[in-house]
Structure 1
Amino acid sequence: MTLPAPLHVLNEGLAFLLEVAALAVLAWWGWGSAGATASRLLLAVAAPAVAAVLWGLFAAPKARIPLPTAGVLTVKALVFGAAAVALHTLGRGEAAVVLAVVAAANTVLATLDRNALMHRRA
């Protein structure tokens, strides 16, 4: 299934916004999950940094270490799952569900679209 060009662009834009939102949520969780200011700051920086490094190494379109589709989907599930769990622990259960559902739908569409494009080129 190849998405029409306008929907492809919209889905890719949504993917970027979801990725940024996941990093922001992880930073928010880090800041809210520790007592001392130094610990809060460390977690607020470290949590999104770990997610960003994982994403850049394995899940980004130009990942340093290309993985098969299943590996990329695993990394995306870990990052978006961590963000959803973080939202839930912050008392934002409904937002956690919305993030998880929208991220899953976006990832499915992007994966189907990307695979269709790759098969068309082959």
Structure 2
Amino acid sequence: MLTVAKGAVAAVMFFLELGVLLALGYWGFTREVNILMKILLGLGTPAVFATLWGLFMAGGKAPHQLHGIARAVFEVVWFGAGAAALAASGLVTAGVVFAIVYVVDGVLRLLTDQV
């Protein structure tokens, strides 16, 4: 049973990671700017965030893997940016739900030793 729970918690975390990229892309494409800037923000912001994730967080394969408090701060900023992007796009409820799911998943990761 614990194996199933750990798998579910890890799956939710993975989908939250993807959700941040989607939220940032949505935010970029919904800005009130010209089409070129929308494309730049809609594609560029998720690309920058994905690069940062790959450099610092990518499951043991990151060249500059963060640990401890630095990892926790990075995660809070990363997932907070996803929630904020949703809220800034007018999807305030979705942003709040996103943040709540992240916090619950974080607590479950701590309880199942997946940090």
Q: Assess same fold via TM > 0.5.
A: yes
- Count of residues paired in the alignment: 113
Query: Percent identity between the aligned chains?
Result: 33
Provide the aligned C-alpha RMSD in A.
1.6
Deviations 1:49-108 (A, max 9, x none): 121111111122122212222111111111111111111111111111110111122123
Aligned partner of 2:48 in structure 1 is 50
Unaligned runs of 5+ residues in structure 2 are none
Larger radius of gyration: 1
TM-score by length of structure 2 reads: 0.88
Matching residue within 24, 35, 39 for 2:33: 35
Conservation of the 8 A alpha-carbon contact between 1:84 and 1:97: yes
Aligned to 1:118: none
- TM-score normalised over the length of structure 1: 0.84
Is the 1:28–1:44 Cα contact (8 Å) retained in structure 2? yes
Cα distance in 2, alignment partners of residues 92 and 84 from structure 1: 9
Partner of 1:110: 109
Instruction: Give the partner amino acid of 2:14.
Output: F
Other-structure match for 1:66: 65
Cross-structure match for 2:74: 75
Q: Relative to structure 2, which stretch is displaced further, 62-71 or 85-94? A: 62-71
